[in-house]
Amino acid sequence: MTTNYTLAAIVPAAGVGSRMQHSAPKQYICLAGKTILEHTLAKLAQLKQLTTIVVAVSDDDPYFATLEVIDQRIVRASGGKERADSVLNGLLALADNPPDWVLVHDAARPLVTLADIECLLSECISADEGGILASKVKDTIKRGATHSQQTVPRDNLWQALTPQLFKYHDLTQALQTALAQQVTITDEASAIEWANKPVKLVVGRSDNIKITTPEDLDLANFLLQKQHSENAL
Ligand SMILES: Nc1ccn([C@@H]2O[C@H](COP(=O)(O)OP(=O)(O)OP(=O)(O)O)[C@@H](O)[C@H]2O)c(=O)n1
Ligand SMILES: C[C@](O)(CO)[C@H](O)COP(=O)(O)O
């Protein structure tokens, strides 16, 4: 697929999955016949414009090497202490041949649709602005520790999803600077915001869930089976 820009993906996959309370890191749990990470990589591998898919995994990860290598574009990078460190390591792994744009997508989000990713690419690249898939908050939001102290106004409130798409050099510089100054970074957009650069909000499906706690598994399994049967039609 020819484009007038180059694009690489980074998949942070070095977490331990503590909230999942599972014997292995959650990205290696099998759902609908494959590990969560294999589902995510198979989804990204359908993007023919990707030059490289960097997967950041822990140096002592014994599982990654056993995965079926589904695409020659996949390269391994070292995971870091926090997710942002893993992403930065992934960016630095591309430094010798940097892409114009980089798509960062959680290994724990196998349900993302290609349509949503294509929409993110189209809207951001045509606007020449980085951006993220996000879903509008649907529930009433409360703030408080054990009792509700405040109902947070819901207008213009979004849940950030992934992929998040930014220019390689913008994201690398923003992450390096923010991490050096110990700014709390939980997604790529927060580093870009900290650097006072725009983050476009692109509406994404709310079923692009981040598999995080045990109750997410049955829903994810159902939705993965559904996606697989729809693709087989
Ligand atoms: N040091 C880290 C921490 C997280 N991740 C990745 O970032 C994504 C989103 O993070 P999260 O859902 O928080 O995963 P974990 O950190 O594994 O989960 P937990 O917080 O429950 O331990 C996951 O694909 C995870 O593998 C990573 O690459 N490096
Ligand atoms: C990047 C992310 O998935 C956007 O919602 C989220 O910030 C990851 O947070 P986590 O605590 O690392 O799961």
CA dist 106 and 83 (Å) reads 9
Ligand minimally distant from the alpha carbon of residue 29 = 1
**Which residue, 75, 61, 53, 54, is CA-closest to 16?**
61
When pLDDT is averaged across residues 170-184 and rounded to a whole number, the result is 97
Ligand 2 midpoint to CA 232 (Å): 31
Residue % of the chain over a pLDDT of 90: 96
Residue 188 in contact with ligand 2 by CB distance below 6 A: no
pLDDT at 233: 67
pLDDT at 110: 98
pLDDT at 211: 98
* Residue 1 pLDDT level (bands cut at 50, 70, 90): low
- Residue 54 phi/psi, 5-degree rounding, is -90, 125
Q: Report if pTM > 0.95.
A: yes
Q: Among the atoms of ligand 2, which is closest to the Cα of residue 164?
A: 1
Ligand minimally distant from the alpha carbon of residue 24 = 1
Tokens of 42: 């198979």
Q: Which fold has domain 7-221?
A: Spore Coat Polysaccharide Biosynthesis Protein SpsA; Chain A (3.90.550)
The owner of tokens 């041949």 is 97
Cis peptide before 62 (omega within 30 of 0): no
Tokens of 92: 């630095």
pLDDT at 232 over 80: no
- Residue 216 phi/psi, 5-degree rounding, is -80, -20
Mean pLDDT score of the chain, rounded to an integer? Answer: 96
Residue 106 in contact with ligand 2 by CB distance below 6 A: yes
